[in-house]
Amino acid sequence: MLLKYFLLIIANKNFQGYKPLLRKWQKEVEENEEDLVLEVFESIFRHFLCDTNRADAREDSFVHEVFAPIISPFFINNNLKSSDVLDPSTHRKRKFDPVLQGRKADFSVYTQIKSNKYYLLVSEVKSPRYMSSKKINLWDCDLVKIGNEMKDMLDKCIEDGIKNNDLTICGILVEGFQCSVFAMDLKFDAIYRMILLGKFFLPQNIHNLYVLSIAIEELMQTRSTISRSAELCFQSLIQHNKDPSITSTIPATPIRNGMMRSSFHTPIRVPTNRIFNSIYN
């Protein structure tokens, strides 16, 4: 922890000299947590130029140059993979119409076991430029969207055989530079709990990298949560397949499928002139 704060201070005062410092500390540290911190800073320094302010970045640029460099080191590894297409959303929508396509998230993470993908984290991002230029209504905001996506992911995991009621799906809602971390579970009949776990901020430029200290702590907690969920997926499938060579200690919930509730189809906005034409014609 001390190394993390020291690195933050040095990075703000001596940005040009970060590479030798990272190489030096990389040789000295052995703990995985400290190694991850260095990986985050290496990722940040590759994308942040000294004279760049990200407040005016378009959404695609903001995702790829600000959000992804901080997020990716935590969640992309041998067990977790990223994607922008949400298969659980496609699965839900095609129950209504087989030609419909699913939602595309700005960032999502899944674990793959054999041929099945289990989505455990989703992110929706609105850039500072977008947030400052529009008046955001409740029905148009990404909070509702990410809640629906998390429910789709949770339902699909259960339908695919993950019966343990400790399974937790995470979501990161990015509104400008502010990030909110949510968790969703289904421990009781028809009650999808969406819980705010914490908040953190993304850096605007190299002069406020100190915000990364809280960001790193929140993202480590989120990584721990979805790693646990990935393990539950693996254990549940072992139990489902009744492999005699492996004993699962994870309790299953037989009525798990009955606890779910179906989602409605996404409403379609109809222009007002079409409504009046249909009435009078």
Q: In the Cβ-directed half-sphere of 92, how many Cα atoms lie within 13 Å?
A: 23
Collect the ranges in the chain with pLDDT lower than 50: 1-3, 5-6, 9-10, 15, 244-253
Place of tokens 């960001």: 215
For the chain, where are the alpha helices, taking DSSP H only? 2-13, 18-28, 32-47, 59-62, 68-75, 87-93, 128-133, 142-159, 212-241, 256-259, 272-280
Whole-number pLDDT of residue 118: 93
Q: How far is CA 202 from the centre of its chain?
A: 15
pTM for this structure? 0.78
Residue 246: helix, strand or coil by DSSP?
coil
Contact 196, 180 (CB under 8 A): yes
Return the structure tokens found at 46: 């590759």
Whole-number pLDDT of residue 119: 93
Percent of the chain at pLDDT > 70 equals: 67
Angle between helices 2-13 and 212-241 (to 10 degrees): 130
